[in-house]
């Protein structure tokens, strides 16, 4: 497991970007109500950081080109993004939000 | 069986077809397109394609699964040449005719050219994938590049050509590039994007000729000067593809005229995207932004289906979104919302004009637009604020 941040740092309705040397790609943590969702922070279309985008319920809108991704499934609702973003299960261990290493690992050529 | 014909297979045509199926249309769906290439996305043409980071294969707007779900007949490589509105019958360039119960016009726009300059080798415009691949080929050799027109396409091409190591000059008719798009204050600030990258700006002049004999060698200007050139790219705007509707009785005036629900003056015929000049709160707009080609066809499809189902399309929400466009040039991201006028006041909200910033435009005190340079988060917030102002303008 990779530790991401203290759970108390996350506020409902906000997106928190996590980029640490442990992580192969930056992640975005989204708290909706009491649930915490974790997705790849980089839009599947180009290089925008989704944590700069707008959160509306379970949907996060890319700040550049307006594709909206469902943080539960990773699926985009409209172009230009056609591919989903990856979603990752997180656990809270001793007050820290943690993500499975295998889930966030990327094939070398897929990393941006 | 009912037939709906979508004329045009760019983003607007594909989005219209997708929207028809999403809205439950189960009849025959025919897409008519001039280009033989499968539908592709255009924004990367001036950037990733010219830079050699994309060969065009990865620009597809649809994959096999999506095409299967569309369950459409694709008539590619043949444009429509006429439309008889009484019978809604299309004539195609290959001689076929196609009667339809509903028609969606999404024929887009084409690059404007300079009169009398098209025959020289080395002279390009950029609209299609073929255009981009031809230009890329010409940019693979060292040489001087002259870009005519400093709009978004011109600036992006200049940026790409510079990144490829060329000596680049941008010739702009106005005193500063992007004057009409961004207004005086912002246009002046953003001149530095060109000059910081050693791209030469020649402004306030027009091009009077391109000199060959076979391959372009010189660009002559209205002030008597001439610029040496091995490659010339003409980026002087786009013209809507409406000529094929001449004689159809469908009203056109710088685009196919539509109402707020994308309806043309012919029953059962709607239009969307670059080709459509739609009625809205502030009069009439024809918008060539990518976002307009993405969003307008959804309204057009819903409106057409409502009409064909005997419902009242005017019960649907009107199409009048806040215009939004972006441009990536010289490693910088520009985002613009609204329709700023040339004399609107620019007000800095975050950052610095020397670097990244977010700003709003004001006209008579009211916000008329937003501009951001490398500030997507701030821009997103501004865009949301602007939406309500736009809806009540």
Say what the pLDDT of residue B55 is.
86
List, in order, residues 6 or more apart from A86 with CB less than 8 Å away. A39, A40, A74, A103, A104
In B80-99, which positions are buried (b, 16+ CB within 10 angstroms) versus exposed (e)? beebebeebebebeeeeebe
Nearest residue, CB atoms, B377 vs list A63, A78, A82: A63
Q: What does pTM read for this prediction?
A: 0.94
Rounded to 10 degrees, the C-alpha dihedral B340/B346/B348/B352 comes to 100
- A48–B61 C-beta distance less than 8 A: no
Q: Is the pLDDT assigned to residue A109 strictly greater than 90?
A: no
Angle between helices B152-163 and B179-195 (to 10 degrees): 10
Say what the pLDDT of residue B210 is.
94
pLDDT lower than 70: segments of chain B: 116-118
Give per-residue pLDDT as tens, B69-106. Answer: 999 999 999 999 999 999 999 999 999 999 999 999 99
Q: Which of B334, B377, B381 should be substituted to probe chain A, the one whose Cβ sees the most A Cβ atoms within 10 Å? A: B377
Contact status of A79 with chain B (Cβ, < 8 Å): yes
**How many other C-beta atoms can be found within 10 angstroms of the C-beta atom of residue B70?**
17
Closest CA to B369 of B337, B392, B345: B337
Å between A63 CA and nearest CA of chain B: 6
Q: What is the largest CA-CA distance in chain B?
A: 64
- A53–B376 C-beta distance less than 8 A: yes
Phi then psi for residue A79, to 5 deg, are -60, 165
Contacts of B41 in chain A (CB under 8 A): 79-80
pLDDT grade for A108, boundaries at 50, 70 and 90:
low
Cβ-based interface (< 8 Å): residues of B facing A:
11, 15, 41, 43, 61, 63, 290-291, 294, 324, 326, 333, 335, 376-377, 379-380, 384
Closest CA to B259 of B211, B182, B319: B319
* Domains of chain B listed by start with CATH number: 3-109+239-315 (3.50.50.60), 113-234 (3.50.50.60), 331-391 (3.30.390.30)
Å between A94 CA and nearest CA of chain B: 32
pLDDT grade for A111, boundaries at 50, 70 and 90:
very low
Nearest residue, CB atoms, B376 vs list A64, A78, A80: A64
Distance CA(B73)–CA(B32), nearest Å, equals: 9
Say what the pLDDT of residue A112 is.
43
Distance CA(B128)–CA(B59), nearest Å, equals: 12
Question: B294 has which bridge partners?
Answer: none
Say what the pLDDT of residue B369 is.
96
Q: If you count DSSP H runs as helices and E runs as strands, how many of each does chain B have, helices first?
A: 7, 26
* Domains of chain A listed by start with CATH number: 2-110 (2.102.10.10)
Q: Which single residue is written with the structure tokens 């769906």?
A: B29
Å between A35 CA and nearest CA of chain B: 24
């Amino acid at each position: 497991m990779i530790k991401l941040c203290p759970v108390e740092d996350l506020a409902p309705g906000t997106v928190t970007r996590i980029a640490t040397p442990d992580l192969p790609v930056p992640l975005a943590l989204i708290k909706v109500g009491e649930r915490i969702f974790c997705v790849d922070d980089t839009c599947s279309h180009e290089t925008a950081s989704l944590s700069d985008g707008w959160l509306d319920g379970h949907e996060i809108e890319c700040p550049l080109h307006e594709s909206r991704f469902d943080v539960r499934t990773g699926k985009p609702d409209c172009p230009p993004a056609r591919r989903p973003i990856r979603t990752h299960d997180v656990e809270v261990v001793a007050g820290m939000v943690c993500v499975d290493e295998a889930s966030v690992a990327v094939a070398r050529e897929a990393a941006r | 069986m009912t037939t709906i014909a979508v004329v045009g297979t760019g983003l607007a045509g594909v989005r219209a077809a997708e929207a028809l199926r999403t809205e439950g249309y189960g009849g025959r769906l025919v897409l008519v397109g001039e280009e033989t290439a499968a539908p592709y996305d255009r924004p990367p043409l001036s950037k990733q394609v010219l830079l050699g980071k994309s060969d065009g294969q990865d620009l597809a707007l649809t994959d096999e699964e999506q095409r299967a779900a569309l369950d459409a007949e694709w008539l590619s490589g043949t444009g429509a040449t006429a439309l008889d509105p009484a019978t809604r019958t299309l004539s195609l360039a290959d001689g076929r005719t196609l009667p339809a119960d509903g028609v969606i016009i999404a024929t887009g726009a084409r690059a404007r050219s300079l009169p009398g300059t098209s025959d020289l080798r080395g002279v390009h415009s950029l609209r299609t994938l073929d255009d981009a691949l031809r230009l890329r080929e010409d940019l693979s050799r060292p040489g001087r590049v002259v870009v005519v027109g400093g709009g978004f396409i011109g600036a992006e091409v200049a940026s790409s050509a510079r990144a490829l190591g060329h000596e680049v000059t941008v010739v702009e008719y106005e005193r500063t590039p992007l004057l009409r798009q961004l207004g005086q204050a912002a246009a002046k600030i953003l001149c530095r994007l060109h000059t910081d990258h050693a791209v030469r700006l020649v402004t306030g002049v027009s091009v009077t000729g391109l000199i060959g004999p076979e391959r372009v060698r010189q660009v002559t200007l209205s002030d008597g000067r001439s610029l040496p050139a091995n490659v010339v790219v003409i980026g002087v705007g786009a013209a809507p593809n409406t000529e094929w509707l001449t004689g159809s009785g469908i009203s056109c005036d710088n685009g196919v005229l539509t109402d707020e629900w994308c309806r043309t003056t012919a029953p059962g015929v709607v239009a969307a995207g670059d080709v459509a000049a739609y009625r809205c709160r502030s009069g009439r707009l024809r918008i060539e932004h990518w976002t307009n080609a993405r969003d307008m066809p959804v309204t057009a499809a819903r409106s057409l289906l409502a009409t064909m189902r005997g419902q009242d399309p005017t019960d649907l929400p009107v199409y009048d979104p806040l215009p939004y466009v972006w441009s990536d040039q010289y490693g910088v991201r520009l985002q613009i919302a609204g329709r700023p006028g040339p004399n609107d006041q620019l007000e800095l909200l975050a950052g610095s004009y020397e670097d990244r910033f977010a700003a709003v435009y004001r006209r008579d005190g009211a916000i008329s637009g937003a501009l951001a340079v490398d500030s997507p988060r701030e821009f997103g917030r501004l865009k949301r604020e602007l939406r309500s102002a736009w809806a009540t303008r």
